[in-house]
Amino acid sequence: KAGVTQTPRYLIKTRGQQVTLSCSPISGHRSVSWYQQTPGQGLQFLFEYFSETQRNKGNFPGRFSGRQFSNSRSEMNVSTLELGDSALYLCASSLNEDGYTFGSGTRLTVV
Amino acid sequence: QQQVKQSPQSLIVQKGGISIINCAYENTAFDYFPWYQQFPGKGPALLIAIRPDVSEKKEGRFTISFNKSAKQFSLHIMDSQPGDSATYFCAATLGGYQKVTFGTGTKLQVIP
C-alpha cells in the first residue's frame, strides 16, 4: 500500500515569503502530525490533526499553521519565512496507538 | 519534564558486534516508547516499540530493555551489520499516536 506522500520534496523560498507543504497520509489513517527536523534542534513536534481538528500543538510561533481536510490530507503553512525556518519538514500518519509512519519529508531552504 | 535524553551522540561498532543506545525520560505519564531508524534523505521509520508494563521486547536482532523504576530504556542491536548504519531516535509519547517527544538521535556506523 502507498506510504505517506509529501510534496514537494524540495523547496527554495526567500525570506518574507510564505510556503504551503502538502501531506497525503496512508489510506485510512485519520491522525496526521507534522515535525520539523534540523541538525541543531532535532525532531520537534509542530501539530497533530485528527478528523480535521487540531488536537495537539507544539511550541512554534503562530507563523506556523496547518489544517486537515475531510479526506485526511493535510497542509502546513509557514508565513513570513525566516532563515531559521530552513529544515526538513516531516509528516506522519497513524491509524492507532502503534506509532507513526513518516513520509520522506519536504526539504525547505530559505534564502 | 517532557525531555527524552539520548546517548551516545555517535557510535562506531564493528560488524558482528553489539550496538547499545540509551535513553532516559522524566515524565512518568509516557506510556509508549518507540525507536525510529532514519537513513539519509528518508523520514524516520518505526523499528520497534515497547510499553512500560513490559521489561524487554525482542524483534529479530533488535531488543528494547525497559527499566520503569529508573525511567530508562535502551536499544540493543545484536550482530550489527553495515546496513544498520543510520541515525536512531528513541521517543516517548502519551497515548501512542499523539505528540511524540524524540531523543536527540544517535548516529551509528557499523564498520566491516
Banded pLDDT at B2 (limits 50, 70, 90): low
Please tell me the predicted confidence (pLDDT) of residue B93: 87
Say whether pLDDT at B11 is over 90. Answer: yes
pLDDT, one tens digit per residue, over A42-100 is 999 999 999 999 988 899 999 999 999 999 999 999 999 999 999 999 999 988 766 78
Choose from A44, A53, A100, A104 for mutation: most chain B CBs within 10 A: A100
Query: Is the previous residue joined to B8 through a cis bond, with omega within 30 degrees of 0?
Result: yes
The C-alpha of B110 sits at a distance from chain A's nearest C-alpha, in angstroms, of 21
Please tell me the predicted confidence (pLDDT) of residue A96: 73
pLDDT, one tens digit per residue, over A2-51 is 799 999 999 999 999 999 999 999 999 999 999 999 998 899 999 999 99
User: In B, which residues are within 8 Å of A87 by CB distance?
Assistant: none
Q: Is B105 on the interface with A (CB under 8 A)?
A: yes
Say whether pLDDT at B1 is over 60. Answer: no
User: In B, which residues are within 8 Å of A94 by CB distance?
Assistant: 96-97
Say whether pLDDT at B96 is over 60. Answer: no
Q: Is A104 within 8 Å of A6 (Cβ atoms)?
A: yes
Q: What is the DSSP string of A42-71?
A: EEEEEEEEETTEEEEE-S--TTEEEEE-TT
Taking CB atoms within 8 Å and a gap of at least 24, the contacts of B69-74 are: B70/B24, B71/B24, B71/B25, B71/B26, B71/B28, B72/B22, B72/B23, B72/B24, B72/B25, B73/B22, B73/B23, B73/B24, B73/B25, B73/B33, B74/B20, B74/B21, B74/B22, B74/B23
Which of A42, A90, A99 has its CB closest to that of B43? A90
Q: Is A47 within 8 Å of A77 (Cβ atoms)?
A: no
Task: Identify residue A77 by its one-letter amino acid code.
Answer: N
| A8 vs B98 pLDDT, higher one | A8
Check B46 against A43: CB less than 8 A apart. no
